[in-house]
Amino acid sequence: MSEEARLVEWLRAARRVIAFCGAGVSAESGLATFRGAGGLWEGHRVEDVATPEAFEYHPELVWRFYAARQAALQEVEPNPAHRALAEMEAHYPEFLLVTQNVDNLHERAGSLRMIKLHGSLMEVRCTECQRVTPIDRPVDLGAEEEPALPRCRCGGLLRPNVVWFGEYLNPAHFEEIGTFFRQCPLPGSTGAAGGTLLLVIGTSGAVGGGYGLTTQARRYGARIVEINPELSALSLDVDLALREPAGQLLGRVWPQVRS
């Protein structure tokens, strides 16, 4: 049986699906990934634009970087991978989308509920009162020679509501992921692996070792599938790997599953 046929079979048999996504999911929409040739971290040093210290010392530089990324979102559209994931939410009795992406393409494809581990480009947070506010257009920083940093109505400086290097992730997100895995039926109780499937899509697994999701999936007897044209730090943990761009693959595979 081909790898693709096996994926179709596993997606049809699954009752519970958890998808763990990274920048590769949005690559076919035209957004740059972080690592590798042409990646965002090639053009920018992480410590200049994605740390609390950078924001403290050079808020304007950091804001220029994020405003440009917000503007880039206006130019792109969800691709078939985002759309397939949105449809999975309605298709499976239990479905959890966990994304490291800060873009809004999952939402725009129709996903209603997701864990955004690294926050959102289209939200701002007040550094004083901590209020989080969604925004619907890129932050306007004014003219180059007279920049105006965005302010909260309390007067505090606003920052992008994303997680920077050196900052903590929301522990409630890991509670929710842990709960999903702990509720896996015992292997063998409703078909192989209790019908639970972990899809690892478009992530290098370079940050936080993939946050232990593959380890948890293994412990609770879930099947693990990777969709990524390249090897990743998680590739050794998976049961099945499809080495193809996610949009191309899911655009072909998902219609066979849902029909």
- In the complex, the residues that contact ligand OAD under the rule CB under 6 A are 22-24, 27-28, 33-35, 39, 50, 100, 118, 163, 202-204, 206-207, 227-230, 232, 245-246
CB-closest chain residue to ligand OAD:
24
Return the number of the residue (53 or 186) whose C-beta is nearest ligand OAD: 53
Where does residue 199 fall: left (phi above 0), alpha (psi -120 to 50 degrees), or beta otherwise? beta
**Nearest approach, Cβ of 52 to ligand OAD (angstroms)?**
12
Return the number of the residue (34 or 181) whose C-beta is nearest ligand OAD: 34
**Nearest approach, Cβ of 229 to ligand OAD (angstroms)?**
6
Return the number of the residue (9 or 230) whose C-beta is nearest ligand OAD: 230
Contact indicator for 123, 137 with CB cutoff of 8 Å: no
Q: How far apart are CA 5 and CA 58, in angstroms?
A: 51
Return the number of the residue (94 or 174) whose C-beta is nearest ligand OAD: 174
**Nearest approach, Cβ of 39 to ligand OAD (angstroms)?**
5
Q: How far apart are CA 233 and CA 237, in angstroms?
A: 9
**Nearest approach, Cβ of 122 to ligand OAD (angstroms)?**
15
Q: How far apart are the first and last CA of the chain?
A: 20
Catalytic site includes residue 106 = no
Q: Quick one: angle between helices 3-13 and 246-258, nearest 10?
A: 50
**Catalytic hit among 44, 82, 106, 118:** 118
Q: How far apart are CA 60 and CA 70, in angstroms?
A: 15
Q: How far apart are CA 136 and CA 134, in angstroms?
A: 7
The residues that are catalytic are 118
